[in-house]
Every structure is written in structure tokens, then in C-alpha cells.
């Protein structure tokens, strides 16, 4: 990992339940993680304890949650006073949570998966070009990253720096530090990893609900899923800073101001904990199996 790459410790969710492991195996998993990790450093593979691996990789804190069957079997944190309630920047896991928000709006018939998003967008429109004249950009394409949208990811902003609004991010206009969000391939023709596509989905949800994205996600996903230690607020409110992990570079140097800011909420703006993400996964799993329709209906979940 390059010296200039940012690192905010590590937040991990171990999906043991998806592997149908017996409970005795899952119960032993934290000890297994603590005592025997295969780590490659400088091209050399080593077996290290968790504390040794953290020291070797300059990772100051780690948080994990393990799912066994239909519940959280264990939640633990390591390093620098971290607890299982410590908030970490969830990076691209933000996309997963944002996608669930969009699907909840599909469930309520406020959004459609296969309609041209420009028919519902009011604050901004996907710039038309020859690539999308026969195949419009759709929400299904945005969420699955098959909409032909470019811009894989976003850089970040220092704490205290001017932050762009959503329209400025989409247009690539100052103070945004990223290029415009545009169609670079015929929608439906190929997979293109696209944070820009999730910013279009963010605009679609904001325009539909007529509410700021942070508030919309609080009401649509975070509160209903009881993700009580999660927020899309950027920058992180002062009252939550004491509960959040501090960001570090790959060489162990602390990030100026303690964290970077991502105003691209849907693509990268979530602060969360492994337990909160695990709770959301459990709700989606219940809907997928048809065990519950409290969060998503099985019909909508099957269309995800």
C-alpha cells in the first residue's frame, strides 16, 4: 500500500452465517483471528497474531462482527481504546447501505428500477450523448454499476476545506475535486465500477423525497434498521468525534484533523460499526429468505 494512501484503521464484518458454519466454529473465530492471520508484507507471506499484523501494517485499530445463522455471534474491537461501538469510515460500504435505501423506495413504489432516471430527477439531469440515446440510464443500472457511468471513486477533502454540494459533485464544478459524472459507455453494455453512478442515485433519492440525503437515509434505513451508531453526516458532527476512530496513513501517520471528509454521501460518506452493518445484512437476509417483510418485502429483495 502506497505511503500516501489513507487508512482509518480497519472495520470488518465477518459473514460466518453465509457459510453456514456450525456455532462451535463461529464461537472460536475471534480466537482464530487473534492468533493466526496470513499476511503478505513486502511480497513475503507470514502467519502473525492480530496484534503483530496490526503493528506490521500500521493499523491502529480493528473492529469485527461475526454473523452466525440469524444473529450476531460476536463483536469485538482491538487497539487504541476502540470498542465495538467505535465509528469507522465505511468507505464503499456506503454504496451498499445507499442501495438498500433506494430499494426501500422501490418497495414503496416511489422509485422504479427500469425507468429513465431523467424522468424523475429534478435538480440535475444525466447529460445526454450518443451512448445513451437508445438505452437510458436506470436505477437498476446505477445500483448494479451497469449504467455506463464513469468516475470510479472520489479523492476526499481535508477537514475544514470547502465542500461541494451534490450538484457541484455531479457537474465537476468547484470546489469539487473530481470530474463531471457522465455516461462513458452504453447503459447495460458492461460493468463499470462507479462511485459517480451512486451520486446520481443519491440525487434521485433526494429529489424523490425532497429531503437532504443524510436525513433521508436516517429515516429510510438507519433508524428502521436500528443502526444506532451510523450516520452519513459529512463532516462528522462534533458530538460523535469522540466516538470515532482516527484516520492514519499507511505509514502510521495520523491524518491532519483526524479524518478525511467525503461529501459524496452515497458513494463513500457513511460512518458506521461492523455490528450496525451486520444488523442490516441480517434484515436483508430475512427478506431474501421470505422470513420477514418488515424492512424489505421478499419480492423487492429478490429484484435487488
The pTM score is 0.88
Residues 6 or more apart whose Cβ sits within 8 Å of residue 106: 112, 113, 139, 300, 303
- Candidates 175, 231, 166, 176; CA nearest to 200 is 166
- The DSSP element (H or E) to which 27 belongs, if any, is helix 23-35
Pick out the chain residues at pLDDT < 70.
1-30, 302-304
Report the pLDDT value the prediction gives residue 295, as an integer from 0 to 100. Answer: 81
Report the pLDDT value the prediction gives residue 10, as an integer from 0 to 100. Answer: 40
210-216 LR contacts (CB < 8 Å, sep 24+): 213/166, 213/265, 213/266, 214/265, 216/101
The x, y and z cell numbers of residue 282, run together, are: 441480517
- The DSSP element (H or E) to which 21 belongs, if any, is none
Query: What order do you get walking across the sheet with 71-78 strand by strand?
Result: 10-14, 62-68, 71-78
Report the pLDDT value the prediction gives residue 37, as an integer from 0 to 100. Answer: 83
Report the pLDDT value the prediction gives residue 29, as an integer from 0 to 100. Answer: 59
Report the pLDDT value the prediction gives residue 177, as an integer from 0 to 100. Answer: 97
- Candidates 163, 151, 144; CA nearest to 233 is 163
Cβ atoms 210, 155 nearer than 8 A: no
Measure the CA–CA gap between 83 and 267, rounded to whole angstroms: 26
295-298 LR contacts (CB < 8 Å, sep 24+): 295/104, 295/224, 295/225, 296/100, 296/103, 296/104, 296/107, 297/107
Report the pLDDT value the prediction gives residue 292, as an integer from 0 to 100. Answer: 81
- pLDDT tens digit string along 131-188? 988 899 999 999 999 999 999 999 999 999 999 999 999 999 999 999 999 999 999 9
Amino acid at each position: 500500500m502506497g505511503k500516501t494512501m489513507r487508512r482509518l484503521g480497519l472495520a470488518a464484518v465477518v459473514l460466518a452465517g453465509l457459510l453456514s458454519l456450525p456455532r462451535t466454529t463461529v464461537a472460536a473465530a475471534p480466537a482464530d483471528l487473534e492468533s493466526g492471520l496470513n499476511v503478505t508484507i513486502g511480497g513475503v507471506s507470514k502467519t502473525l497474531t492480530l496484534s503483530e499484523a496490526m503493528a506490521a501494517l500500521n493499523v491502529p485499530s480493528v473492529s469485527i462482527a461475526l454473523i452466525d445463522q440469524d444473529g450476531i455471534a460476536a463483536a469485538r474491537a482491538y487497539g487504541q481504546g476502540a470498542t465495538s461501538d467505535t465509528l469507522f469510515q465505511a468507505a464503499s460500504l456506503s454504496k451498499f447501505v445507499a442501495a438498500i435505501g433506494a430499494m426501500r423506495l422501490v418497495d414503496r413504489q416511489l422509485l422504479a428500477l427500469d425507468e429513465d432516471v431523467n424522468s424523475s430527477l429534478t435538480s440535475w439531469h444525466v447529460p445526454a450523448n450518443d451512448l445513451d440515446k437508445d438505452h437510458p440510464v436506470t436505477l437498476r443500472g446505477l445500483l448494479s454499476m451497469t449504467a455506463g457511468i464513469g468516475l470510479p471513486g472520489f479523492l476526499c477533502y481535508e477537514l475544514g476545506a470547502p465542500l461541494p454540494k451534490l450538484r457541484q459533485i455531479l457537474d465537476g464544478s468547484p470546489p469539487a475535486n473530481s470530474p463531471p459524472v457522465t455516461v462513458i459507455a452504453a447503459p447495460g453494455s458492461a460493468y463499470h465500477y462507479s462511485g459517480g453512478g451512486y451520486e446520481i442515485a443519491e440525487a434521485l433519492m433526494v429529489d424523490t423525497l425532497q429531503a437532504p440525503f443524510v436525513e433521508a437515509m436516517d429515516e429510510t434505513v438507519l433508524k428502521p434498521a436500528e443502526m444506532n451508531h451510523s450516520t452519513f453526516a459529512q463532516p462528522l458532527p462534533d458530538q460523535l468525534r469522540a466516538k470515532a476512530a482516527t484516520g492514519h496513513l499507511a505509514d502510521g501517520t495520523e491524518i491532519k484533523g483526524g479524518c478525511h471528509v467525503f461529501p459524496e454521501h452515497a458513494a463513500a460518506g457513511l460512518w458506521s460499526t461492523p455490528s450496525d452493518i451486520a444488523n442490516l445484512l441480517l434484515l436483508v437476509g430475512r427478506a431474501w429468505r421470505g422470513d420477514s417483510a418488515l424492512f424489505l418485502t421478499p419480492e423487492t429483495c429478490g429484484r435487488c
